[in-house]
Amino acid sequence: MITRDSLYSRLLTWLLLPLLALGGLMLFQAWLDARQTADRAFDRLLEAATLAIAEQVQWQDDRLWLDLPPAALEMLATDAEERVFYAIYDNRGRFVTGNAELPGIDSDGANADDGLYYRDIQWRGLALREGVRRTRLEDWRQRERFDVRVAHTREGRERLASQLLRGNLAYILGMALLAAATLVIAIRTALAPLTRLRRAIRARDPRTLAPLELPLPRELAELRETLNELLARMRRVRANQERFIGDASHQLRTPLAGLSARAELALRQDDPTQWRQALVAMQDTSARTSRLAIQLLSLTRLDNPEYRPELSPVALDDIARQAVKQHWSACHRDGIDLGVETPQTTVKVQGLDWQLEEALGNLIDNGRRYGARRITVRVADAPPVLEVEDDGPGIPEARRLLMLRPFHRGSDDPDGSGLGLAIVDGIARTHGARLGLEDGHDGQGLRVTLIFPGALS
């Protein structure tokens, strides 16, 4: 049998199983009730028979005497033709008369009170219902105590009990069918909005991100709201992407247009020195453009949520030294003091060396570009921190968050792409590190810190 997981079958199972258990319980109860009722009705016969016999017990010839009324025995056999047994016992438990030696109520029967007792017994392999009447002679000379014990087989009781049970059975079955039918209808009705929701989603244009609009019950309305929130987020993401693409093409178009204009201008000249100047300028522009393209590429890669690079242990101080070594000559040419501060011991984190190098490169480049005189790369221990501080103009606090967005530049510097800090932000996210933008030393300049989650020992 193939079991398909569905809400419908789950609900049906979890509602029908208890219902079934309940029905079984009711049946069992009905059976007990029927038995009890039948026993109560038929115990009246035992009561009447013992009474009829007890009334005929007398004291005669110095002993208990009974003139057994046949009717007393006949009343014990109903239409079901039960087997009938009776016996009289005296106060010491001795058999006086009867057609069967029936057991008494207990072994020391002398202690029991007068009265009528019923119980089920097994006698020679027959299941009997016994009635024991413990009473005394109503005689002013003799108050001898005696037992009248009668018993009959259970056919009549069982017949009545099964009749009662059959009546109840029809009732219980009817109820169960009604309950099951109601249940099925109720579950179908309750699950109908789910089908509507599914149809509404399936019928949508796959390109649209418009919110779902259809009336639903509360529980599903929550699901619809969640879906709509997701759609709204996707709309924002798409808007961002569209803007990014627009910005990127704009950024690339400007230098390409410059290249084209310069080449056109140079072609109008006949002087080879002019050509040479133009070629130098064009080489410079194309180098910048290619750097921009590389930055765009890495930013795109960093922004991709599917991108999960495998991190390996890297030494932060090595990376810092390497970056300083790489950028030192460029800075020196511009008269910038580039320095590095590292602790005594090696600081290791999980990371990608080339990404961290690029981040440092971007930060150093930014500092150089925005007119810093001194740039310090700093590595700290516990927690591991990579930090670049400059003494340039810095960024006012209100604009720091904006700076993390691509193509947003601090000034109208035609050289900058506006991607540097956005890329650093992406790299920090990849490493699970926290990016901080603060004022530099003495409230001047900018300090960018990358605080890593934990050091590797």
Partner 1 sequence: MKPLALLFILLFPLTATAEAMRYPAASGPERPERLIVHGALDVAYIQPLLDDFHRRHPDIDLTYRNLDTLPLYRRFLATPDEADVLISSAMPWQYRLVNDGHARPLDTPASRDWPAWARWRQELFAFTFEPIVMVVRRELLERYGRPDSHAELLATLRDHRDDLRGRVVTYDPERSGAGYTYAIEESRLSPRYWDLIAALGDVDTSLVDTTGEMLEGLTDGRYWIGYNLLGSYAHRVVEDDPDLEMVVPDDYTLVIQRLAFMPRQAPHPRNARRFLDYLIDETGQAVIASQTALGAIHPELDGPGTADAWRAERGNALRPLTLGPGLLATLDDLKRQALLTRWRREFNRDDEDR
Q: Which of 11, 22, 27, 68 is in the footprint of partner 1 by CB under 8 A?
A: 68
Q: How far is the CB of 184 from partner 1 (least distance, A)?
A: 45
Answer yes or no whether residue 76 interacts with partner 1 by CB under 8 A. yes
CB of 53 to partner 1, least distance (A): 10
- In Å, what is the CA distance from 298 to each residue of 214, 236, 307, 311, 358? 42, 22, 11, 17, 10
The CA dihedral of 410, 304, 327, 276, to the nearest 10 degrees, is -80
State whether residue 23 is helix, strand or coil: helix
Residue 406 and residue 243: Cα distance in Å, rounded?
Answer: 10
Which of the stretches 61-69, 349-357, 370-378, 392-400 binds partner 1 when contact is defined by CB under 8 A?
61-69
Q: Which C-beta is closer to partner 1: that of 124 or that of 141?
A: 124
- Pick from 14, 29, 36, 74 the residue near partner 1 by CB under 8 A: 74
- Token output for 197: 């929701």
Check if the beta carbon of residue 3 is closer than 8 Å to that of residue 12: no
Q: Does 46 bind partner 1 (CB under 8 A)?
A: no
Nearer CB in complex with partner 1: 157/224: 157
Neighbours of 123 (CB within 10 A): 16
Contact positions with partner 1 (CB under 8 A) in 173-192: none
Distance CA 226, CA 288 (A): 45
Using the contact rule CB under 8 A, the part of the chain among 64-72, 251-259, 358-366, 404-412 near partner 1 is 64-72
> With binding defined as CB under 8 A, does residue 71 bind partner 1?
yes
Q: How far apart are CA 325 and CA 429, in angstroms?
A: 26
Which CB, 125 or 305, lies closer to partner 1? Answer: 125
End-to-end Cα separation, the chain, in angstroms: 56
Task: Give alpha helix (H) positions in 56-207.
Answer: 70-74, 155-202
If one counts every other C-beta atom within 10 angstroms of the C-beta of residue 412, the result is 6
323 scored as a contact of partner 1 (CB under 8 A): no
Query: Which of the ranges 13-21, 92-100, 211-219, 242-250 carries the binding residues for partner 1, by CB under 8 A?
Result: 92-100
Note whether 97 binds partner 1 by CB under 8 A. yes
* Closer Cβ to partner 1, 68 or 231, answer by number: 68
User: What residue ranges bind partner 1 (CB under 8 A)?
Assistant: 65-74, 76-77, 81, 83-86, 96-100, 124-126
